Amino acid sequence: MVNRKNKRGDIPVTILVIGVVVVCVLALMSFLSSTAKVRSSFVGIGALEEMNIQREKNYFYKTSWLVTADYEYMESILDYAKENSIVERKCECGSECSSYAKIIVDSSSENEISDPLLLLSLMMQESSCKAKAFSGSSVGLMQINLIHCGEYGLPEDKEECKRELLGSPQLNIDVGAKILKNSYEAYKDGKIFQGCSQRNVLYSGWEAALRGYNGWGCGKDESGSVFYSQDSYVEEVMERYEKLKEVGNYAEVLGKGNLFQLEITNQFPFIKRKDKFLFSAKFIEQ
């Protein structure tokens, strides 16, 4: 017996197959569309993350000075300080500004001093950048007290020690940086300073390091006169330090020197110097 095909039964099957195909096609299209959206979203997220990374770099380089504190930059700061008084001090480095700039940057790095400009401010406070400065008990650029002879690689004989400190700016700055760093390690957690005027001030961190560098007691000159002005030593150095930072940050804006080679990046609104991000375009335009 020959069975006849059930044509009526074929219709629902055909519709079912077509439906399955349509659903599969729609599912595939939906998947491809969602994949494209996800990919697009990840691209957007990636771009946002990249911008955030660059912002973090910008902040890090600006606050840590690991990039800006190069020789050329420091030399430009010294050149400015040579011509302009900053908190009652100039840097009278003459033709040695360039060599001092290199020494300051290298010594700061080697001794993990937070910012070379802090070391420069200290040097200006101590000697106004005069290599042959001598106060009777302290000598050279960083006014190294002769009580340190026999330490930091210095000769024990004070006359020989004095000659070396006066004859070598490199040695003088290096020893000053080491004394400052040791003072930081000793007092960074905080110590109260009375001074000559019973100020009762608590210093910590690098301010305490500066106080230790100058001394925690009441200073007197050779005649026994009290150095009341030394009580504000830390504040003067820190004020000058902040001014020196402003010189670097705003010199381009104020027209006081071409300190930065500026270039706007293609992707983000940052200005970079020597391929490192420093300041936002908005910051420069202020």
Q: Does residue 71 form part of some domain?
A: yes
Answer with the residue of higher pLDDT: 68 or 5: 5
Q: Would you say residue 170 lies in a domain?
A: yes
- HSE-up (13 A, CA, CB side) for residue 74: 27
Average pLDDT over residues 258-276: 38
In order of 35, 36, 46, 50, 125, the CA distances from 40 in angstroms are 8, 6, 10, 15, 57
* pLDDT value, residue 16: 64
Within a domain: 169: yes
Specify the pTM. 0.66
Inside any domain, residue 239: yes
Structure tokens given for 135? 């106060």
Q: Which has the minimum average pLDDT: 92-96, 152-156, 170-174, 225-229?
A: 225-229
Query: Is 70 exceeded by the pLDDT of residue 39?
Result: no
Q: Is the model's pLDDT at 151 over the cut of 50?
A: yes
Mean pLDDT of the chain: 76
Separation in Å, CA 154 to CA 159, 164, 169, 174, 193 = 11, 8, 14, 11, 29
Percent of the chain predicted with pLDDT > 70: 62
pLDDT band at 11 (very low <50, low <70, confident <90, very high): low
CA–CA separation, 260 and 253 (whole Å): 10
pLDDT band at 257 (very low <50, low <70, confident <90, very high): very low
User: pLDDT: is 61 or 176 the higher one?
Assistant: 176
Question: Could you give the percent of the chain with pLDDT greater than 90?
Answer: 50
In a domain, 183, yes or no: no
pLDDT at residue 40 in the model: 44
d(CA 76, CA 117): 12
- Establish if 3 belongs to a structural domain: no
pLDDT of 47 above 90: no
pLDDT for residue 76: 87
Q: Give 196: exposed, middle or buried? Use CB within 10 Å, 0-12, 13-18, 19+.
A: middle
Residue 281 lies in a domain: no
- Residue-range definition of the domain harbouring residue 147: 67-177+229-251
What is the number of structural domains in the chain? 1
User: What is the pLDDT at residue 215?
Assistant: 93
Residue 86 in any domain: the answer is: yes
Nearest Cα to Cα of residue 245 among 122, 117, 127, 145: 117
Q: What is the pLDDT of residue 268?
A: 35
